[in-house]
Chains A and B, each alone.
Chain A
Amino acid sequence: MNTPPSRSDSDIPDAWETRLSRIPLAPPPPDLRRACLRAEEPRHSASGGLAFWRAVWAGHPWAIRGLAAAWSLIAALHLTTPEVPVATAKARTVWAEETLKLVARQRAELMATALDWDRESAPVSDESAPPAKASDRPNAAPSTAFPTNRMS
C-alpha cells in the first residue's frame, strides 16, 4: 500500500478540496438552541434513576434481560400459585400429626402381633430348638430359661 505524501499547511488546496470545502454545512435544528440554553437539564435531572438504568442497559443488556426474565418468572409463579389460608395450613398440620399418631399406633400393634407370632412359633422342647445366641437377643434371658408365661 502506497503511503500518500503528507501535506503541509502551506500547500495550496487543489480544485477538488476547494470544491468540497465550499459546500456549506447544515445548520443545527432551530429547536436545539432553546434546549441547549435552558438552565436546567430535564433530560438528566428529571430521571436520574432512569439515566442509571439506561447506562446499565447500555453496558450490560444481556444481564439486565436475564434479570428481567427471572423477575417475570418469579412474579408469574407468585400470581398463579393459589394462596393457602392460615386456617387451612393449621388444619393440614393437625392432619399430619393425626397421621403420625395413627402410624405409630399401627406400628405398635404390628410389633405386638409380631411378638405374639414369635412366641407362638418358638420350639417347645429342647431337642428341636436351635442353640440360641446371646447376641441375637441382647437383653433376653439365657436360652435355658424359658419364659414363665409360656408355660402357664
Chain B
Amino acid sequence: MAAPDPLESLYDAHAGALFAYALNLTRSEADARDLLQDQFHRLARQPMPPTVRDARGWLLRSMHHLAIDRIRRRATRDRVADQWSKEPLELFATHADPDETAFRQGLAEALGELPEDQRSVVHLKLWEGLTFEAIARLLDIPPNTAASRYRYGVDKLRARLRPLYEEIR
C-alpha cells in the first residue's frame, strides 16, 4: 500500500482551518482561494521543515502573512476594502434552522466590522482554540496584547449581536 502524499495529508488536515482564516481576514472568497492555492504551491516547491512540531501553527502563521500582504496590496489597488469587509460571507457552515442561519450570517458580518488585528485574534482563539501564548507567537505580539485584542473583539461582537442573540434564544 502506497504511503499517502504528505501534501495531501497536510491539505486534508489543515485546509479547512486555513481557508476559513484567510476568508475571515481578507473577507473575499476569491482572495481566500488564491491564498490557499499559493500556500500549497509553495509547500509543493519547498516542503515544511521537518523541525516544525506544530504544523497547524506554522501553516496559520504563514497564511496570516500571506493574507496581510494581500490585504495591503488590495488597499493600494483600490479603496473599497472597507466595503468588502462588510460583505456577507459564507464563513460558517449552513444550518437547517433559519434563525440559526441568520445568527451565523450576522456573526460573519460583525466579524467583518472588527479591525483586522482583533479579528485575527478572535478567530484564532474561538475557532482554532489557541492559547494567548500560541496566538502571540503566531502573530509576533505580546500575549497581553493578544488577550486585550481578544477581549475588545469579543465584547464588540457581543454588543453587536445581542439583539439577534436574545431574539433566537
Set of chain B residues within 8 Å of A61, measured between Cβ atoms: 77
Max count, chain A CB within 10 A of own CB: residue among B8, B23, B37, B165: B37
Q: Would B132 and A32 count as touching, CB distance under 8 A?
A: no
Q: Would A25 and B44 count as touching, CB distance under 8 A?
A: no
Quick check: which of A37-45, A68-76, A116-124 contacts chain B, the rest being far away? A37-45
The B interface is mostly helix, strand or loop, or mixed, namely: helix
Max count, chain A CB within 10 A of own CB: residue among B23, B36, B107: B36
Set of chain B residues within 8 Å of A12, measured between Cβ atoms: none
Chain B CB within 8 A of A84 CB: no
Q: Would B158 and A16 count as touching, CB distance under 8 A?
A: yes
Q: Would B147 and A25 count as touching, CB distance under 8 A?
A: no
Inter-chain CA distance A3–B147, complex, in Å, is 12
Inter-chain CA distance A27–B33, complex, in Å, is 12
Interface residues of A in 15-33 (CB under 8 A from B): 16-17, 19-21, 23-29, 32-33
Q: Would A28 and B126 count as touching, CB distance under 8 A?
A: no
Inter-chain CA distance A59–B76, complex, in Å, is 7
- Closest Cβ of chain B to A129, distance in Å, is 89
Also in contact, A6 and B147, with CB within 8 A (given A37-B40, A43-B37): yes
Chain A CB within 8 A of B91 CB: yes
Set of chain B residues within 8 Å of A17, measured between Cβ atoms: 126, 154
- Closest Cβ of chain B to A1, distance in Å, is 10
Inter-chain CA distance A44–B40, complex, in Å, is 14
Inter-chain CA distance A16–B162, complex, in Å, is 10
Q: Would A36 and B37 count as touching, CB distance under 8 A?
A: yes
- Closest Cβ of chain A to B102, distance in Å, is 13
Q: Would A37 and B8 count as touching, CB distance under 8 A?
A: yes
Q: Would B92 and A23 count as touching, CB distance under 8 A?
A: yes
Q: Would B15 and A28 count as touching, CB distance under 8 A?
A: yes
Contact of B92 among A4, A25, A28, A57 (CB under 8 A): A25
Interface residues of B in 109-123 (CB under 8 A from A): none
Question: What residues make up the interface of A, taking CB atoms closer than 8 Å to B?
Answer: 3-9, 16-17, 19-21, 23-29, 32-33, 35-37, 39, 41, 43-44, 57-59, 61
7 more contacts with CB within 8 A, not counting A23-B107, A26-B23, A28-B36, are: A4-B151, A16-B158, A20-B154, A23-B93, A28-B19, A32-B36, A37-B7
